[in-house]
Amino acid sequence: MAIMKKMYFFLVLLLGSISVCAQSPNLSKNDYKEILQLCINIPQLEEYIPKDNEGNIKQLYVYYYAPQFIPEDINLTKGGKILPFREIIVNESEINDCYFLFEKWEIEAGKGTISFSFTKNSAEVRKHVKITTSLEKVKNNWIININTINVQ
């Protein structure tokens, strides 16, 4: 099982390095923040977001591939907590328990697609939710539509 996890992370790393080439340099920092926050706040993810005994959201992370395509100095939040950015690594023992991973990011002329995943690892359950979205900028606001959600 440990070998399969390592192979999975290596595959994700490889695919991510390919998809980073499709980044969108014409986006402003505010565009990145708005788009990422919309993705993180998709209502269909709420049931997988880990909470403590008092119902507060536990710490989550946003992983990215190097070379980085997401500006690190934007503050994304979930449940009032800032989500730290981390470079994706192959060593699974250093991967945090619950994280978002943005894998495909193609945006041009106010339209595009984003594929990302949310992974929840805990002693009780492991869930991997893969989401593909389409988005469009309408009157200075990004509108996100969910194309597919796959839970593994």
Query: Model confidence over 49-80: pLDDT tens digits?
Result: 988 899 999 889 888 766 556 666 788 889 88
pLDDT attached to residue 21: 37
Is 34 a residue whose pLDDT tops 70?
yes
CA pair distance 121, 105, nearest whole angstrom = 24
Question: Whole-number mean pLDDT of the chain?
Answer: 78
The long-range contacts involving 101-104, CB below 8 angstroms and separated by at least 24 positions, are 101/12, 101/16, 101/62, 101/63, 101/64, 102/36, 102/39, 102/62, 102/63, 102/64, 102/70, 103/12, 103/15, 103/16, 103/19, 104/19, 104/22, 104/132
Amino acid, res. 2: A
Tokens standing for residue 66 = 């190097």
User: At 11, is the pLDDT very low, low, confident or very high (cuts 50, 70, 90)?
Assistant: very low
Tokens standing for residue 21 = 């080439």
* DSSP single-letter state for residue 88: -
Question: Is 70 or 14 the better-scoring residue by pLDDT?
Answer: 70
User: At 129, is the pLDDT very low, low, confident or very high (cuts 50, 70, 90)?
Assistant: very high
Coil vs helix vs strand at 60: coil
Average pLDDT score over residue span 12-27: 46
CA pair distance 37, 57, nearest whole angstrom = 16
Average pLDDT score over residue span 41-47: 92
Residue 42: Cβ within 10 Å count: 16
User: At 134, is the pLDDT very low, low, confident or very high (cuts 50, 70, 90)?
Assistant: very high
CA pair distance 26, 108, nearest whole angstrom = 8
Q: pTM for this structure?
A: 0.74
CA pair distance 28, 46, nearest whole angstrom = 28
Average pLDDT score over residue span 20-34: 71
